[in-house]
Amino acid sequence: MSQFQIHQQLLLDCHRLGRFELCHLLLHKNASVSWFILVPEIDGADDLLGLPDNVINLTMAEAKKVARFIKSGLGFQKINFATIGNVVPQLHLHIIGRRQDDCCWPAPVWGNLLEVSNYSAARIGTVKDILIRDYSLKVV
């Protein structure tokens, strides 16, 4: 049985949506931008570019799914994609839908997201249902 645990700070900041083959998918609680986070289930991983090629490629394939959902499902044209981890060392990837009229455009979201809004439970349920139905997300 896996001992893998998602970092406590990520669990505090996010709603859990489910998982793909490799990565857990989280939704940042701040709904002022559409901010998803992938956490590969790899014990001790802290560096995407230090992983073996096949693991990077699988991670990127799952990031691509999330980006497709952000574009096709949520109607964004622009994606910000990053793995930083200066505060939370556990490897996690940010995939964020951006719009020129969002609350911190054109700045990156980190440290600049002063506006806070919340998702309703119904909205989270809808997002999860679409990801399960069309993007092979699994319930955890």
C-alpha to C-alpha distance for 67 and 24, rounded to whole angstroms: 15
Question: 3-42: which residues touch its own copies (CB under 8 A)?
Answer: none
The DSSP bridge partners found for residue 70 are none
Q: 140 vs 16, 26, 40, 71, 85, CA distance in Å?
A: 9, 11, 14, 24, 24
Q: Is residue 81 near its own copies by the rule CB under 8 A? A: yes
Query: Which window, 26-34, 37-45, 66-74, 116-124, contacts its own copies (CB under 8 A)?
Result: 66-74
* In contact, 91 and 84? CB cutoff 8 Å: no
Query: Which window, 3-11, 13-21, 109-117, 129-137, contacts its own copies (CB under 8 A)?
Result: 109-117
Nearer to its own copies, 84 or 140 (CB): 84
* In contact, 33 and 97? CB cutoff 8 Å: yes
Q: Is residue 64 near its own copies by the rule CB under 8 A? A: yes
Interface residues toward its own copies, by CB under 8 A: 47-50, 53, 56-57, 60-61, 63-64, 67-68, 71, 78-87, 95, 98, 105-108, 110-112
